[in-house]
Amino acid sequence: MPKDREEWIIHQAERFTRESFSGRPEIFDDTTNFMYIDRGHVIELDGELFLVRGNEKEGRFGIDEQPKFWVKRAISLTSGRKFVLKLVCQETFKIQIGLVQVTCTRSGAKEGQVLQLVRGDHRFMQGRTVLDSRRNGVRVIDFINGTNLLNHIYSLNIPHERYFQECLPSLLARTMVAFHAIGFLNGHGLCHGDIRNDHILVERETGEFRWIDFDLTQDFPDFDLWSLGNILHCVVGKGFVSFRDVLREQPEFSGVLADEDASAFFPHRIMNLKKVYPYLPGKLNDVLLRFSTGARAFYDSISQVIEDLGECGICLPSKAE
């Protein structure tokens, strides 16, 4: 490596991080072995240099903060801008959803298709695919300054009834916009594939909901549609509402709650939330019940969910978050 280039890398790294760097910078233009790329290393993509700041982390299946070694937090050594670099990680695994075992496949190419489709649409994360020296498609994602939906809701440290009065109208309106966005993807033959409360970021400056992470697909028909029920449960319930927590705090519900009140996806969660929060509008609860084990009718499309939620708007308080 030319000495002047090495000195430039160190200078820029110290300039943007306000940390000291010693030794020769280690540069990777081949990201195939992503496990070897760590904090302080540099990734070169199409002539641009990115300083790796660490691995992204994610909670999954009740396990908190597991590192995603193929997803790197990084900064551009040219501009100092923050990015997320998603390196190629092909994998197939199975998960249990209710009574059904679902096969999941991770594909960077599929996420690249989504990024190309939604370019300029701020309901989604923004980014591009760049090939490294081995033609691995690295997704260079713009950093979003915000927190995930679940953390945002938990930060609203108020009782549920006050949350219903003051916050739910605004949150539900933004939830509908997010549901429209998933309908847009599906209408173009693509899916999100991993709809979760931590895959919606609430942008700090605007409060907008923005979808992230599109690299999974499942062999489960209408997986996106059914997953939206979990988002709605979280938004209406002010987080996850489980049988265990409700019965522990209010034992009198032991003769009120039934198996048919459970979520079809997560049987430990209560989908019939009106039993717990009787002030919820019946129309809103009816939407939730379409995602329950006791449902007598199911949704065939995301547009039907949005239409029913739109009718619920007139039943909600006029105050907004």
Q: Please give the CATH superfamily to which domain 146-315 belongs.
A: Transferase(Phosphotransferase) domain 1 (1.10.510.10)
- Does residue 42 or residue 60 have the better pLDDT? 42
Region of poorest pLDDT, from 38-52, 153-167, 225-239, 306-320: 306-320
For residue 283, what pLDDT is reported?
95
pLDDT tens digit string along 270-289? Answer: 999 999 999 999 999 999 99
Q: Collect all residues with Cβ–Cβ distance below 8 Å to 10 and sequence separation of at least 6.
A: 21, 25
> Could you tell me what percent of the chain has a pLDDT over 70?
95
Longest dimension (CA), the chain: 75
Q: What is the pTM of this model?
A: 0.93
How far is it, in rounded angstroms, from Cα 3 to Cα 47?
A: 17
The closest alpha carbon to 198, from 241, 135, 153, 237, belongs to 153
Chain-wide mean pLDDT for the chain? 94
How large is the average pLDDT for residues 225-245? 97
Q: What is the pLDDT of residue 194?
A: 95
Say if residue 321's pLDDT is above 50. Answer: no
Residue 228 amino acid letter:
L
pLDDT for residue 320: 47
pLDDT at residue 64 in the model: 54
* Residue 59 predicted with pLDDT over 70: no
Is the pLDDT at 128 greater than 50? The verdict is yes
Sorted by sequence, the CB contacts under 8 Å of residue 169 that are 6+ apart come out as 313, 316, 317, 318, 319, 320, 321
Domain boundaries, the chain: 3-87, 146-315
Judged against a pLDDT cut of 50, whether residue 84 lies above it is answered with: yes
